[in-house]
Amino acid sequence: MKKHEAKTPKAAGPKTINRRSFLGLAGISAVALSTAGVLTACGNGAGKAQVTSSLGLADSVAKVVPSYVPMDLVTPEIASVDGSAPGFTSIPATLVKSVTEVPGKGGSYKAMTPAWWTVPPALANNGYYQSVNEALGATIDFQVNDGNSYGDKIQTVLASPKDVPDWVVIPSWNLPPRFSQAVTTIFEDLSPYLAGDLVKKYPNLANIPTAAWKFSAFADGLYGLPYPSNLITDALFYRKDIFTELGLEAPKSADEYLAIAKELTDPAKKRWGSEDAWNGAQIMFGVVPKWKLVDGALVNKVETDEYRAALEWIAKLFASGAVHPDAVAGNLQQAKSRFESGASLMATDGVGSWHESLGRMLPTNPKYDMAPMDYFAADGGEPTLYRGSPASIFSFVKKNSDKAKIEEILALANYMAAPFGTEEYQLINYGVEGVHYTRDSQNIPQATDKGRAEVTSTYAFLVNSAVVNSKVQYPGFVKAASEWEARQAPFVKEGEFFGLQIEEPSKFGSLGKPFEDLAMDIARGRKKLSDLDAEIAKWKKNGGDELREFYTGFLSA
């Protein structure tokens, strides 16, 4: 096999917390999240969809969605291809202004957000908050909560509407049961301010892609301000540095993956070819995220030939002995550490983990080279990639009879949604130059100690600009990542019900759990592939067919 030739990052410097870094830090994988949410409505998985009406859903959403008016303030070095993120390989020496006047009118608001890192100092002791609030012309006082228990916190807060803060961030995977009821009684429908061309009053909000706005529509209204997601959120990664040393290149089919995984495995050297690749198997075999329309009828993912084939393949991988023993034992939390140490050499992860891993590893291992494989179908042909949710986080504005306050909050949101290359983006992401960061010889912001302590994703969680790749800290990364996504983008398609919030009846909440357990058991040889048939029959009897009928009602939407 020939060695790969793509250039890769060779060095690293200090870094600040990027507003998209939480995805990599938390190890959030869209494939894993969709798998958890496919058959469940009220569990802890992401992808929980929420809506109340089953007739004319698309039409009702279209009425509340803002117009899309793209901005062209800064030209990317790497253009978007079929929706891939444009790439900026450098930060402009001169930043532009996208908001010409102070947006706030002196209002004061409490905002609740999660954090998957050390909670920053509160407003009174946080110069970053104070500086941003000064630029906003309003005061936002953040209540920052542990992201790992944020779902429980959200449910507690929403249970007491009078205690709900003015502005609340809710990740898609933390949307609580029966949220479509709560959202209409607790939060403001923003469609009277943003629907259609009304959004043109807020140019940065109008620059947010339509799909992200559609996914922010709940219960026939526009309730959410979105944090847009990448077009492609998952990748099959491999240790390119070690592959190169061994004279190997990345696999291009499911059979090659198996063969290379076995070739790499050497227990005497404490090295195994792969982590648990169940999510990757589903990508290879083109498994739909939820439902597939076959001859006019809905088929659940677990009923498809692709799902069965993916199960058969993952069982072969485990049986080969090429999966790290800790992964076989079910310890998936340490998968990143095993991959980064070279104990396992192929793994599936969220795309955000790539940049985060470079930040952890390059300072001590300059040769470290984590790279995503180009996607392939199981047989080596062209892949079928299903797009994940178009937004990963939402924020909601508490009901307020004062129209002026709603308009002020939206003006603040317009500032926060400023795109890359603007003064507003720079302040929101890095703080104040000379205080929270300095610029290196390549004009790249490098965090100071004060910046590392104070600057984090708080304002950015309230609303976010269209996705771009501007992670210029590591030479070559933007080019490699942007070109990789551009190569995959033509194979991306939207599954049934893409971008629509559909709230399943709570009685279906645990319907999918047996399949999660069955997949683990089949992979590890504790059960057989034939056990899938019995589980599907049980699923149909226990509500699967009823759930199918429920979703069929949306096909006319």
Which DSSP string corresponds to 198-214? GGGGSHHHHTS-HHHHH
Closest CA to 133 of 100, 170, 103, 97: 103
pLDDT digits (tens, 9 = 90+) for 331-368: 999 999 999 999 999 999 999 999 999 999 999 999 99
- From the number of C-beta atoms within 10 Å of its C-beta (0-12, 13-18, 19+), residue 39 rates as buried
pLDDT digits (tens, 9 = 90+) for 484-518: 999 999 999 999 999 889 988 889 988 999 999 99
- Beta-carbon contacts of 112 under 8 Å, excluding residues fewer than 6 positions away, are 142, 143, 145, 157, 165, 167, 168, 169
Residue 556: pLDDT band (50, 70, 90) is: low
H-helix or E-strand spanning residue 177: none
Query: Is pLDDT larger for residue 230 or for residue 25?
Result: 230
The DSSP output letter for 10 is -
Closest CA to 552 of 218, 54, 214: 54
pLDDT digits (tens, 9 = 90+) for 394-431: 999 999 999 999 999 999 999 999 999 999 999 999 99
Residue 195: pLDDT band (50, 70, 90) is: very high
pLDDT digits (tens, 9 = 90+) for 48-73: 333 333 346 778 899 999 999 999 89
Residue in this structure with the two tokens 């303030």, named with its chain if needed: 73
Across 112-127, average pLDDT: 96
CA distances from 357 to 24, 28, 448 (A): 8, 14, 21
Q: Mean pLDDT score of the chain, rounded to an integer?
A: 89
H-helix or E-strand spanning residue 93: none
pLDDT digits (tens, 9 = 90+) for 151-174: 999 999 999 999 999 999 999 999
With pLDDT > 70 as the criterion, what percentage of the chain qualifies?
A: 90
Residue 178: pLDDT band (50, 70, 90) is: confident
Across 191-214, average pLDDT: 97
Provide the residue count of the chain: 557
Report pLDDT for 360.
Answer: 94
* Domains in the chain with CATH codes: 49-231+391-470 (3.40.190.10), 234-386+514-552 (3.40.190.10)
Whether the CB-CB separation of 531 and 63 falls below 8 Å is answered with no
Per-residue tokens: 269: 């050297």
Distance CA 423, CA 74 (A): 12
Write down the H helix ranges in 199-298: 203-206, 210-214, 240-245, 254-264, 278-284
Distance CA 409, CA 75 (A): 29
Report pLDDT for 209.
Answer: 95
Any bridge partners for residue 274, and if so which? Answer: 323
CA 424 remoteness from chain centre? 23
Distance CA 120, CA 136 (A): 20
Any bridge partners for residue 196, and if so which? Answer: 66
pLDDT surpassing 90 at residue 290? yes
SS3 track for 417-479: CCCCCEHHHHHHHHCCECCCEEECCCCCEEECHHHHHHCCCCHHHHCCCCCCECCCCCCCHHH
- Beta-carbon contacts of 204 under 8 Å, excluding residues fewer than 6 positions away, are 71, 98, 99, 414, 415, 416, 417, 418, 419, 424, 465
CA distances from 91 to 100, 189, 399, 452 (A): 21, 37, 39, 20
- From the number of C-beta atoms within 10 Å of its C-beta (0-12, 13-18, 19+), residue 500 rates as middle
Across 195-211, average pLDDT: 97
Buried b (16+ CB within 10 A) or exposed e, 190-224: bbebbbeeebeebbbbbbbbebbbbbbbbbbbbbb
Whether the CB-CB separation of 496 and 293 falls below 8 Å is answered with yes
Helix-then-strand count for the chain, H and E: 24, 16
- Calculate ∠ Cα 462-468-471, nearest 5°: 100
Residue 115 DSSP SS3: strand
Across 315-344, average pLDDT: 97
Distance CA 171, CA 15 (A): 25
Distance CA 521, CA 531 (A): 10
Report pLDDT for 2.
Answer: 35
pTM of the full predicted structure? Answer: 0.85
Across 312-340, average pLDDT: 97
pLDDT digits (tens, 9 = 90+) for 232-272: 999 999 999 999 999 999 999 999 999 999 999 999 999 99
Buried b (16+ CB within 10 A) or exposed e, 294-322: eeeebbbbbbbebbbbbbebbbebbeeeb
Residue in this structure with the two tokens 């709940």, named with its chain if needed: 218
Whether the CB-CB separation of 353 and 27 falls below 8 Å is answered with yes
Distance CA 275, CA 281 (A): 12
pLDDT surpassing 50 at residue 23? no
Residue 107 amino acid letter: G
